[in-house]
Structure 1
Amino acid sequence: MGKLTYLLKNRGFLKYPVAILLLGAIFFLLNYYKKETHSISSKKDNSVEIKKLTDMADLFYDSNKIDSAYFYFNKVKNICDPHTNTIDYVYALSCLSELQMSKGNYIASEANATAALPCLKHIKNPRYSWIVYNQLGINYTNSYNYNNAIVYFKKAISLKSSAWRKYIALNNLAAVYMNQEKYREAKKILLILSTQKRVSKHEEIDYDNYSYVIDNLGFCYYKLGDSKTASKLLYEALNIRLRHKTPESLILSFKHFAVFFEKTNPKLAKHYAKKTYREAIKTKNVSDLTNALSLAIKNSEGNELKKYSLNYIKIIDSITAARQQARNQFSNIKYTSQKDKTENLQLKKQKVENELQLERQKNRNIVSYIIILFTSILSLFLYFHLITKGKKEKNHAILESEMRISKKLHDELANDVYTTLNFAKSTDLKLGENKEHLLNNLENIYSRTRNISKENSPIITDHNYNIALKEMISGYKTSDVNIILNGFDLIFWSEIEKNKKIILYRIIQELFSNMKKHSKATLVSISFKMINKNLTVIYNDNGLGTQNEVLNLKNGLQNVESRIKTINGNIIFDNNSEKGFRLSFSFPL
């Protein structure tokens, strides 16, 4: 299992380097609040009292008088204004969290660290964010909530903090991966850290942190099957620790050796398990004691097994009692401090401000709901309006199409059919030339009928659309009319919507139909281009042109303009051509 690197015991370094920043922040905030409401302008400046109480709390903490330290840090927390005394408030919360964590009260520790989170964005120095994130990561690790632990260690790593803080957070992250038995992920991190022996100004701290890294790395190699490399790294870490002889670090080395020799050398495993237990007794840390006893039980038998088992049960009972006593004691301290008149007044004042804030939030919510409701009604109105408008336009288009087909049938076929019928009645069809003339007329009528049918038949819009479109264009090519296509095969036709494909097909069909009837052109050029996610089509022919006159949108060109507008397109008629006709249009894909 991996070893977490905890905070340095001397926490006083947190506040003194930022005294100037703190005074500047307090001055700025006091001036700002004077311009706010009268309730805010009347706030008491507790800076002097906060500093006095914080110094007392630090003194008790450094003297290992945990109960007194907790009492004064709790007083600091209660008289701090999170908006004005932000740094002192976060500092007090982080120390309370650390104290509760040392007693095994991880729930209360997490609560205090979490309470500091909203204030971190108002503190420029990243060390405070690092402390809180690291504490939360350690809390979640000790509570076996590894996913949240990883989140907060990664937050600590991402901060623009000092190199040694990143080093500790990375080692802690690797330790979580080891607890999850993700030894390969842990190894990647530890290999990088193992190349960095000096990351701070304190050699003793660097060697201590480095020993944790290579010891964890050695254990990873052992779990991954490389015993030779594991042994080398574990001994290197042990040699460093034997020079400094700190029980906390020696416990980890002896524990890892006990596991390392468990299968290959049971005697050595038992030897290191005993050494682990002896060092744990020196620390008086119940967590280390229970882990050491568990290891000793695993590697013992007979009377020794019975002795270690009884000690383990005794310690578990004492842990339960001690933790309950600690919770009760801290609860009593908190209750006593809350009875103080100054704290009560502060809490009441804070409560009024919170209620005011809630009322403001409530009003903002009401305004937001009104805006959302109004926006929703407006959106529904526009939606139904557009649907109705679309239906009207569709019906109008259908009516126009029917009228156009009717007009074509009347103008182009009715007279020819009538003339052909009269010719058949009034002439002798036995004669070869009359019979030939009749057949030609019938073939002409059939051809024109087929063309009208094609112009109004369903259009293929699947992956064969480009083939159908090209065939339609080719149908207008004759011995007298040449057609040139540019850029047709460069267009991604599958990206065009079905409706737009149909409209594009009809527009081009309308242009060629108009050319055939009116322009007398012999050469037609049609170009396709993609410009800024818009399809642009340029049509040119060498027909009669518009001869500098205002363009008359009859003969089908009016249909072209109305169709292109239905898909938010633009159309440009060149009405200044002395010879020929030019038109371009574009629409978004």
Structure 2
Amino acid sequence: MKKTLYFLHRRAFLQRLILLLSIAIAGITLLQSDEFDTPSNSVQKDNSTEILKFSDLADSLYDAYKLDSSYYYYNRAKLLCNPKINTTDYVYALYSMSQIKYDQGDYITSEAHATEALPYLKHIRDPKHASILYNQLGINYSNTYNYSDAILYLTKAIHLKSSTWRRYMALNNLATVYMDQHRYKEAEQILFILSTQKRTSKYEDIDKDNYARAIDNLGLCYFRLGDPEKALRYVNEALKIRLSLSSEYEYSLVGIYRHLCLFYMKTNLKLAKEYALKSHKIATKIKILTDRISSLSLLIKTSEGSDLKKYSLSYIKLIDSITHARCKTKNQFTNIKYISRIDKTENLQLKAQKAENELELARQKRRNIYLYMIIVLILSLIAFVYFYLKSKGTKQKDDAVFESEIRISQKLKDELTNDVYHSLTFAETVDLEKRENKERLLNNLHAIYTKTRNISKENGSVPTNENYPASLKEMVSGFKTAELNIILNGFDAIAWNELEKSKKIILYRILQELFVNMKKHSQATLVSLTFKNFEKKIIIIYSDNGVGAYNRSIILKNGLQNVENRIKTINGNIIFDSNSKTGFKLSFNFPK
């Protein structure tokens, strides 16, 4: 375990480990994010472009009074909609289909389409869609004589926070319902207020059309109340406004001409018939069946002879065509329901697939959570080991400094204090005028200087540049004396310049401590130092002929614990030859 911690303590290894883990985490995260995104992208398909294309085409066909074709493309748009995603487009398609069926006199189907859209209004912020739908339902119920529901939905439209002109239109429709119920006074009160408001929006033509409808209905209301003078004044004003508008508002003339026909039916039958003809002509052009029936009914009432027969036959034929159209619509509606059923089946399959994908996503999320927890745990462990080793390294450095200070202090005490004391005592007690005493004192001082210089060298900085081999040789040679011979073998075979700086320093200190230990304890006269290259390691063998060390405990007590610790810091090994009877021998190795 201790060897492992020393190995981990190497800065290069730790940096590589963190880098590799970072790359692995980034790769896994990218892979997981790709996998995470793939299912959600494949589940939903955006049909917005096709929906818009069909809706625009249906709008154009409706403006051209091609109602059947328009209805077909609105339905195509509706089938492409996902109500939860394309909510506004879905409601718009249903409202438009409801309007077409209303124009064709099929109030039941019109109501069905409008009712189908109701649940989705709560998902649309813009109140204009609710206003349009409530108005549509209101006039639908009015035409099927369901006045209570008509009033309910029109009142809802009035209370919406929509634009002023939309509330104006809802009030106008509500007044019409009151007139259908013969509640003329209530209708007259609403319509009179509306007749005082000419501008309700920023669109002049819309304001004119809405105002003309209001005063036209007010004129009809006065006619029912028995005031023909007021009735004609308001209806003629409405006619004048409507004639000034573009052909886009031509449909609005149908009602005015019908009302004028009613006004003149008892006083001027010929004029009444002219207005009935005008109403029928426009109704036929715009293909609104209910308006055609109403205008034909007036033509029958204002005609005689062959014209009466002609219009009566047209009326019967039109009623037959309506019956046929409703049967056709019923079949078409059945077909649409069949298509919708198929669509629902496909949607159910998609929902099942979506549910399966969502389940897989949930599993993937859980796997991601576990993965992130493991990553966090690993990073936390790395951080802990890093800071632990850093703290331990700092402590070891502090301990090493402290030990060095103690060692230097002890050395100064052991080697210099007594010498200095004896030299001072000698200088105070003897006559220094005598030559032999003076020379003895100088020799003592020189010995003190030499010991001081040696201590300084032992603890000074170690050169790690190209001068390192020479410095190492010089340090070893410094221990050579007349009584001690030192032999170096294979020194020049080592590529000293390729060795790391830290290893150079540690090797220098190890050899230094070995020689110091030898000098203090071994009484050797010969030291051999051999350097070898073996595979990817450097091997150094030290031997001397001094007093041998027969067991490891004696060696450690003799001050070689530092040597063993230093070698371990460079991932090296040391071997003591405890069997030597003639001296002391050890070898150590470390990676290049």
- What TM-score do you get using the length of structure 2 for normalisation? 0.49
Q: Counting helix residues as a fraction of each chain, which structure ranks higher?
A: 2
Bigger CA radius of gyration: 2
- What TM-score do you get using the length of structure 1 for normalisation? 0.49
